[in-house]
């Protein structure tokens, strides 16, 4: 049995929220691609008796409030993934604050849960990120990926591998705010999930989870519902988006949840002060 738990987090967004779709020349007449996969994810979690955190784009409440209801009713944690899934660094400071505040307020009103956690779309954050999070009522962030630089994407900026006070990322961050970084393969320095599980296969992810556990680091994984969906062909969407999406990812999720880990919410790991790097926030 691994000595640390694992987190399976879901960035609850639809295909239409992705930058790859928004910048494409073509469109689809299916407005909520990924909604059906939410049920697949919930079924897999239930079969494995696993808890998860769903970082949710709150505007999906306008089209499919039942998806958020289903997640909350199943007892999983609801976090924020902004209101409209735009890159934060491309917005004004006022608009960033509005994205964070609106998302948290709407999700709490819809679910009755306290929304404590946040993840930025594409892990894209601005200089005022932690201050804005604290000002809008969040307790922890999970937007840091301590991976090597990936040209055109992200990486190369952070080396935090385990939970810590947000001051470990930004010395000026509010001291009560926590950071929960996303899992990266030791040595190779690439994320374990998202695109990378589809590129490298589920065995890569499982190996990385075990290597992190040996180091006492809780693996924090992430997936998107649209990755488990049967995606429509859309002109201009890069081919990499379609690699091993659909049935492969549905099988991969179940294979991950079958591993000998206790899958808990992000909130649970943040609350476990023994897992922190450099001491927990006060």
Segment 47-59 shows an average pLDDT of 98
> Do the domain assignments include residue 280?
no
Cβ–Cβ under 8 Å, residues 119 and 143:
yes
209-232 pLDDT tens trace:
999 999 999 999 999 999 999 999
The Cα–Cα gap between 21 and 158 comes to: 28
The CA–CA distances, whole Å, from 6 to 33, 140, 209, 240 equal 28, 17, 8, 27
Is residue 282 within 8 Å of 175, Cβ to Cβ? yes
Confirm whether 126 is domain-assigned.
Answer: yes
Residue 12 belongs to what H/E stretch? strand 6-12
* Stretch 136-146: mean pLDDT: 98
Residue span of the structural domain in which 192 resides: 6-275
Classify residue 140: in a domain, yes or no: yes
23 part of a folded domain: yes
CATH of the domain at 110: 3.20.20.370
Tell me which residue has tokens 């890569």.
Answer: 204
CA–CA distances in Å: residue 169 to residues 51, 161, 198: 27, 11, 29
| Domain assignment present for 258 | yes
- The neighbour count for residue 45, using CB atoms within 10 Å, is 22
What integer pLDDT is reported at residue 152 of this predicted model? 76
DSSP 8-state symbol, 191: B
How large is the angle between the packed helices 35-47 and 247-257, nearest 10 degrees?
A: 30
Mean pLDDT, to the nearest integer, of 171-199? 96
- Determine the average pLDDT of the residues in 236-248: 96
pLDDT of residue 63: 97
**103-128 pLDDT tens trace:** 999 999 999 999 999 999 999 999 99
Average pLDDT over residues 53-71: 98
pLDDT, mean of residues 251-260: 98
Contact (CB, 8 A) for 110 and 78: no
Do the domain assignments include residue 282?
Answer: no
For residue 220, tell me if it sits in a domain: yes
Structural domain count of the chain: 1
| pLDDT reading at 257 higher than 50 | yes
Indicate the helix (H) or strand (E) that contains 248.
Answer: helix 247-257
The verdict on residue 1 lying in a domain is: no
Mean pLDDT estimate for the chain? 95
């Amino acid at each position: 049995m691994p000595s640390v738990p694992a987190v399976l987090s879901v960035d609850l967004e639809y295909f239409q929220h992705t930058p790859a779709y928004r910048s494409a020349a073509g469109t689809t007449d299916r407005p909520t691609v990924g909604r059906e996969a939410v049920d697949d994810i919930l079924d897999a979690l239930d079969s494995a008796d696993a808890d998860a955190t769903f970082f949710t784009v709150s505007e999906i409440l306008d089209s499919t409030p039942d998806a958020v209801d289903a997640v909350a009713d199943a007892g999983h944690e609801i976090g924020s993934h902004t209101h409209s899934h735009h890159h934060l660094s491309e917005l004004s400071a006022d608009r960033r604050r509005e994205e964070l505040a609106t998302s948290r307020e709407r999700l709490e009103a819809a679910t009755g849960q306290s929304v404590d956690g946040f993840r930025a779309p594409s892990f894209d954050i601005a200089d005022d990120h932690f201050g804005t999070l604290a000002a809008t009522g969040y307790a922890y962030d999970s937007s840091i990926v301590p991976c090597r630089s990936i040209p055109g994407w992200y990486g190369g900026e952070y080396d935090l591998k385990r939970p810590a006070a947000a001051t470990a990322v930004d010395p000026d961050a509010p001291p009560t705010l926590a950071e929960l970084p996303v899992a990266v393969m030791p040595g190779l320095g690439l994320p374990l999930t998202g695109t990378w599980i589809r590129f490298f296969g589920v065995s890569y992810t499982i190996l990385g989870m075990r290597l992190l556990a040996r180091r006492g680091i809780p693996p924090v994984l992430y997936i998107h519902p649209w990755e488990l969906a049967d995606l429509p062909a859309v002109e201009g969407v890069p081919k990499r988006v379609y690699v091993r999406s659909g049935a492969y990812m549905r099988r991969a999720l179940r294979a991950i949840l079958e591993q000998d880990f206790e899958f808990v919410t992000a909130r649970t790991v943040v609350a476990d002060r023994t897992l922190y790097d450099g001491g927990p926030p006060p």
